[in-house]
Amino acid sequence: SAVISQKPSRDICQRGTSLTIQCQVDSQVTMMFWYRQQPGQSLTLIATANQGSEATYESGFVIDKFPISRPNLTFSTLTVSNMSPEDSSIYLCSVEGAEFYGYTFGSGTRLTVV
Amino acid sequence: RKEVEQDPGPFNVPEGATVAFNCTYSNSASQSFFWYRQDCRKEPKLLMSVYSSGNEDGRFTAQLNRASQYISLLIRDSKLSDSATYLCVVRANTGNQFYFGTGTSLTVIP
């Protein structure tokens, strides 16, 4: 399975600021996925990042709040913009394996907004 | 109705016990099914895929019941190291959307 390097692993940010999370994959992948896991909750898909096109956002998530870049087949960034305490969460990038192999996740970014 | 539902637990079991988790899914056309394990403050990691015929990996057995739309995970001879949250994951029949259950917390007690 792919190996994903995600950074930063954690950050504490002031409200109103923005944070960019990076994910680097050790192989070329068509799609990368960004998830959020709020405290005590399961994972919620934010968007799918496609190389060479705009990201596809899920209901409740918008590009202005969570802009995504996908400059090549091994890298993606997610920015959490104009942060509020409600954005405090774990953010995870992931890539899909072959059929029946599910997703591989990055180690996650634990974000606290104060 | 949620796409995937599972009992959040917590399940507290003694070492050596057998424990089973169930998970139900709402979309009868779902294609692929997985159990993930998530340790505290860690990312989810694939434990095992769930095949239609059921599959076993050491102490872990996964079953799929399409008629009743549920999957199960059985852990035999529980170890302390099995303590974690177990996530049921279902892949939609179209696109690449994976739906995650809220997880079942397991604590194995010495």
* Residue range B78-103, pLDDT digits in tens: 999 999 999 999 987 766 678 899 99
Among A6, A57, A100, A112, most B C-beta atoms within 10 A, so best to mutate, is: A100
Interface contact B36, partner A, CB < 8 A: yes
User: Residue A2: its pLDDT value, please?
Assistant: 83
Q: How far apart are CA B17 and CA B45, in angstroms?
A: 23
Among B43, B46, B88, most A C-beta atoms within 10 A, so best to mutate, is: B43
Q: Which residues contact B67 (CB under 8 A, 6 or more apart)?
A: none
User: Chain A, 51-90: which have a CB under 8 Å from a chain B CB?
Assistant: none
For A91, B25, B60, the CA distances from B30, given in Å and listed in that order, are: 26, 8, 23
pLDDT of residue B72 exceeding 70, the answer is yes
pLDDT of residue A100 exceeding 60, the answer is no
Interface contact A33, partner B, CB < 8 A: yes
pLDDT of residue B46 exceeding 80, the answer is yes
Closest CA to B73 of B33, B100, B39, B29: B33
Interface contact B68, partner A, CB < 8 A: no
Closest CA to A104 of A46, A29, A42: A29
Find, in chain B, the residue whose alpha carbon is nearest to that of A106: B43
Share of chain B above pLDDT 70, in %: 97
The owner of tokens 């998970």 is: B23
Of A42, A101, A103, the CB nearest to B103: A42
Residue numbers in B near A108 (CB within 8 A): 42-43
